[in-house]
Amino acid sequence: MERAEKKILEKIRNCRTISVIGLAKNVGKTTVVNFLLRRLGRACAITIGRDGEERDTIFNIPKPSVHIPKGSFAVVPSSILPEWGEILETFDAPSGKVVLVRAKLDVDVQTIRVGSFEMTAKISERLMDYCKHIIVDGALGRTGIASYMDCAILVTGAEVDRNVEEVVSKTVEIFKRITTPPVEYDTAEKLKNLPDKVMIGKDGKLLEVAVDGVAGHEKEIVKACKKVDFVYLPGAVTDEIASKLKCDIVVPSSEHIFSNRGKFKVLKPTNVIAVAVNATSVKGFEVNSKELILELQKRLNGIIVFDVLCT
């Protein structure tokens, strides 16, 4: 495990922004965040999730706190006015004002949601004036934040399923979706300025498909995609349309992909550098950690896999 830890830290040293994303609620993301805060100097923890909940709203169990070592940073509600922290900057967020604080001593806190992916990315940029690394704890289902960050760690384990093979299968499926390769067409760069339009790429040109979104217009889009290089779909892409398109399907990020069919490419790729496993479930059962790690290593072609509780 020490070797895996060393490899992770080597990969992460050059990453300013790091997202921690999970396959299930209570899967162990906060434990990974705490591991990173212990190992990385001048790091800051922020979150994409519910605002400072102290108990899990689904299972009604205590949520693990983020442990901020002395000298490290966190974004917390301004209403807390922490005596343990030096306030460095204040930000406006959907939940109200939040503050960046530097810990004067080791402390456990509940971090707070700072807003959308775009807002989180913008605040992260400003935090870099103070912090060497920004660690973003992504809530369940919010894997899209990873495409805004320099790298990501994916967390899986017993909370996903009681059966090792099922955990491996579901993890590999999500991993492959999240790491969908970037688009390579030269014209695709222009799509970033056309975020809401359905476009097709043909012979080096971009052409608009006259529809209002993807849902409900699948037949029209498929009909327009004969003999084209790619189609750009700004909304959620399901089997209904993905299975019928023979060209490359370009989407803003992997979060828009809801199908295992079709040839997908993304405008904003995600760099997953490691998979963390947590063999223990909050429901009281465990899976075999060594078996889970070995099976994931076999299926994920050299990606670092480590036990979150052995760091």
192 and 96 both lie in a single domain: no
148 and 289 both lie in a single domain: yes
58 and 41 both lie in a single domain: yes
130 and 262 both lie in a single domain: no
Q: How far apart are CA 196 and CA 284, in angstroms?
A: 45
300 and 239 both lie in a single domain: no
202 and 150 both lie in a single domain: no
Q: How far apart are CA 270 and CA 255, in angstroms?
A: 10
Catalogue the long-range contacts made by 281-288 (C-beta closer than 8 Å, 24 or more residues apart).
Answer: 281/26, 281/157, 281/158, 281/159, 281/162, 282/26, 282/56, 282/59, 282/61, 282/159, 283/159, 285/158, 285/162, 286/158, 287/157, 287/158, 287/162, 287/163, 287/164, 287/167, 288/164
254 and 303 both lie in a single domain: no
Q: Which residue range forms the structural domain that includes residue 228?
A: 186-266
Q: How far apart are CA 122 and CA 180, in angstroms?
A: 24
Sign (positive/negative) of CA torsion 20, 235, 123, 180? positive
Q: Contact at 8 Å (CB) between 97 and 91?
A: yes
Q: What's the structural domain count of the chain? A: 2
Q: What is the pLDDT along the chain (311 residues), one digit of tens a residue?
A: 567 778 888 888 889 999 999 998 889 898 999 999 888 877 887 765 333 444 444 344 456 788 888 888 888 887 776 788 899 988 887 767 888 888 899 988 876 667 778 888 888 888 888 888 999 887 655 678 889 999 999 999 999 999 999 999 999 999 999 999 999 888 777 887 777 899 999 988 999 999 988 888 999 999 999 999 999 999 899 999 999 999 999 999 998 999 999 999 999 999 999 999 999 998 888 999 999 999 999 999 889 999 977 76
Q: How far apart are CA 215 and CA 290, in angstroms?
A: 43
101 and 68 both lie in a single domain: yes
150 and 79 both lie in a single domain: yes
114 and 262 both lie in a single domain: no
Q: How far apart are CA 91 and CA 89, in angstroms?
A: 7
191 and 216 both lie in a single domain: yes
Q: How far apart are CA 16 and CA 13, in angstroms?
A: 8
- Which amino acid is located at 281 in the chain? S
Q: Contact at 8 Å (CB) between 117 and 20?
A: no
151 and 253 both lie in a single domain: no
Q: Decide: helix, strand or coil at residue 147.
A: helix
